[in-house]
Amino acid sequence: MTAAKKQRIGVMGGTFDPIHHGHLVAASEVASLFHLDEVVFVPTGQPWQKDDRSVSPAEDRYLMTVIATASNPQFSVSRSDIDRGGKTYTIDTLRDLRAEHPTADLFFITGADALAQIFSWRDAEELFSLAHFIGVTRPGHTLSDPGFPEGGVSLVEVPALAISSTGCRQRVAKGDPVWYLVPDGVVRYIDKRALYRDTAG
């Protein structure tokens, strides 16, 4: 009897305020490069390192993430960080996913900017025992290894999309279009819910 193939699950964590094509292209490219079976998008509940600005309600960010990923059968969205309550720590995200998928290999995807901050995250050293980390290139940010544990992190190049959620929010506030920066359904959701109209950034 042959052993069952181990599932390879990508985890794309983010505030997704709003989700944009930079997130989606990064997840898709990593799924292909690392032969992942699926990618789970995990919108943050309370992103504690963004306490200095107002973040849209979790349900809006969750629904935009569902809308944006619906067309890709490899993509799904987890409510884990939102439903846990309190501040969001990736150590909890990964423990929850590990409990849900005890035998799978987990791959946590981060942009170069987020990866550069990883040693400021809660229980940073333990993170690398729960998942393999994949840092992806992002325009305007340097992707480098400041001393990650051996074998704990892969650095990969993905198609460069100079899109940020901050830029999208600022465009909506100014009345500029965000068509083609975010999926069509997300444009319609932002409009219907009147998100970002008076945002400061």
Ligand X SMILES: Nc1ncnc2c1ncn2[C@@H]1O[C@H](COP(=O)(O)OP(=O)(O)OP(=O)(O)O)[C@@H](O)[C@H]1O
Instruction: Return the residue nearest ligand NCN (CB atom).
Output: 13
Q: How far is the CB of 39 from ligand X (least distance, A)?
A: 12
Closest CA to 70 of 185, 196, 197, 168: 185
Cβ neighbours around 198 below 10 Å, total: 7
H runs (alpha helix) in 107-148: 112-116, 124-130
Cβ neighbours around 83 below 10 Å, total: 11
Say which entry of ligand NCN, ligand X, none residue 28 contacts (CB below 5 to 8 A, set by partner kind): none
Residue 3 vs 55, nearer CB to ligand X: 55
Say which entry of ligand X, ligand NCN, none residue 183 contacts (CB below 5 to 8 A, set by partner kind): none
Write the interaction track for ligand X spanning residues 9-28; mark x where CB under 6 A is met and - where it is not: -----xxxx----xx--x--
Q: How far is the CB of 16 from ligand NCN (least distance, A)?
A: 7
Contact between 155 and 13 (Cβ < 8 Å): no
* Amino acid at the residue 67: I
Q: How far is the CB of 96 from ligand X (least distance, A)?
A: 18
Which of 114, 172, 182, 186 binds ligand X (CB under 6 A)? It is 114
Question: According to CB under 6 A, which residues from 121 to 150 bind ligand X?
Answer: 136, 138
Contact between 39 and 70 (Cβ < 8 Å): no
